[in-house]
Amino acid sequence: QVQVVESGGGSVQAGGSLRLSCAASGSIRSINAMGWYRQAPGNQRDLVAIITSGGSTNYADSVKGRFTISRDNAKNTVYLQMASLKAEDTAVYYCNVQGSRRFGIQFDSWGQGTQVTVSS
């Protein structure tokens, strides 16, 4: 009953930039953390960046200084601005949203993923 939809993926050359967006909708009472994860073929799904409701952020070491996560609480939306992209950033990027619904029921929802391909 919580929908998470990503957008903004695509193909770019190394050194380029992309911006991903993720919007959560449905029966949401409050959102705690919103994060981006990625999974390359044959690899596990790893955290890229996460942001709390208070604005605290955490990044994977591999993207620090290149990626920036931000959120618009009024729109239940999180963004991932990616710069200086490398071939190794190629993966399917997934958005994760954690929060609570009516009556305090917790939810942990994933989007369907968006492909990011960086060519060298």
pLDDT digits (tens, 9 = 90+) for 17-76: 999 999 999 999 999 999 999 999 999 999 999 999 999 999 999 999 999 999 999 999
How high is the pLDDT of residue 16? 98
β pairing state of 18-26 and 46-51:
unpaired
Percent of the chain with pLDDT over 70: 100
On the question of pLDDT at 82 being above 90, the answer is yes
Residue 40: other Cβ atoms inside 10 A: 13
Residue 1 has pLDDT above 90, yes or no: no
pLDDT band at 89 (very low <50, low <70, confident <90, very high): very high
Predicted pLDDT at 9? 94
CA nearest to 81, candidates 12, 17, 4, 5: 17
DSSP single-letter state for residue 27: S
* Helical (H) or strand (E) element with 4: strand 2-7
* Average pLDDT over every residue of 74-90: 97
